[in-house]
C-alpha cells in the first residue's frame, strides 16, 4: 500500500484487511492519485486514476442530466473479477475510490467496508489539518537545470 498522506493509511489499511480487495485506488475527482494498493507500476496508477475520474465525472454528469442527484456507486460485474467505483465527500474535497475484487469476497462486503472507510477518512482528515507549506528556496534554480536535462535543450 502507498498513500501520499499519512492520515489516509490507517483507514485504507483497515479497508484492505476487511474487504479482501485486490486493487484499491483513491483519487481526487480531477484524477490525482491519493493512495493505492496493489499496483506495481506508478505510471499505471496514474492511468487508472485518469480513467476512474473520467468515469466518475461522466456518471455524475449523467445523473444530473437525468434529474437525480449523484449515483452512489457503480459496480461492474466481471466473470473473474469485479470493480466498484464510488465517489464520496471528504474534508479535502470530493474523492473517488476504485476497487477491484474477486470471488473471494463480495460486493456487499466491499461496499460495507468502503462506507466505513469513508467515515474514518472524514474524521482522520479533520484531525490532520494541512499546514501551509512551501517548496525549497532552490526549487526554481534546480527546475531550470532539470528541464534542460529532460528536454535536452
> Which chain residues interact with other proteins by CB under 8 A?
4-6, 28-34, 41-44, 46-47, 50-51, 54, 57-58, 61, 103, 105-109, 111-112, 130, 132-136, 138-140, 142-143, 146-147, 149-153
Q: Between residues 58 and 123, which has the closer beta carbon with respect to other proteins?
A: 58
Q: How far is the CB of 92 from other proteins (least distance, A)?
A: 9
What whole-number distance in Å separates Cα of residue 93 and Cα of residue 30?
A: 10
Q: Between residues 60 and 122, which has the closer beta carbon with respect to other proteins?
A: 60
Q: Between residues 33 and 100, which has the closer beta carbon with respect to other proteins?
A: 33
Q: Between residues 78 and 130, which has the closer beta carbon with respect to other proteins?
A: 130
Q: Between residues 5 and 119, which has the closer beta carbon with respect to other proteins?
A: 5
Q: How far is the CB of 100 from other proteins (least distance, A)?
A: 16
Q: How far is the CB of 23 from other proteins (least distance, A)?
A: 16
SS (H, E, C) the chain: CEECCHHHHHHHHHHHHHHCCCEEEEEECCCCEEEEECCCCHHHHHHHHHHHHHHHHHHHHHHHHCCCCCCCEEEECCCCCEEEEEEEEECCEEEEEEEEECCCCCHHHHHHHHHHHHHHHHHHHHHCCCCCCCCCCCHHHHHHHHHHHHHCC
Q: How far is the CB of 64 from other proteins (least distance, A)?
A: 10
What whole-number distance in Å separates Cα of residue 145 and Cα of residue 9?
A: 35
Q: How far is the CB of 43 from other proteins (least distance, A)?
A: 3
Amino acid at each position: 500500500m502507498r498513500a501520499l498522506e499519512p492520515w489516509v493509511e490507517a483507514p485504507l489499511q483497515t479497508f484492505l484487511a476487511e474487504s479482501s480487495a485486490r486493487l484499491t485506488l483513491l483519487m481526487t475527482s480531477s484524477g490525482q492519485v491519493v493512495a493505492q494498493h496493489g499496483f506495481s507500476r506508478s505510471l499505471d496508477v496514474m492511468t487508472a486514476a485518469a480513467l476512474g475520474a473520467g468515469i466518475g465525472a461522466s456518471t455524475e454528469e449523467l445523473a444530473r442530466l437525468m434529474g437525480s442527484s449523484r449515483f452512489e456507486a457503480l459496480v461492474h460485474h466481471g466473470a473473474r473479477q469485479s470493480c466498484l467505483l464510488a465517489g464520496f465527500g471528504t474534508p479535502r474535497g470530493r474523492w473517488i475510490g476504485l476497487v477491484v475484487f474477486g470471488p473471494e469476497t463480495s460486493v456487499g462486503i466491499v461496499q460495507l467496508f468502503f462506507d466505513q472507510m469513508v467515515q474514518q477518512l472524514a474524521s482522520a482528515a479533520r484531525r490532520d489539518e494541512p499546514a501551509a507549506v512551501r517548496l525549497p528556496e532552490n526549487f526554481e534554480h534546480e527546475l531550470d537545470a532539470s528541464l534542460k536535462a529532460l528536454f535536452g535543450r
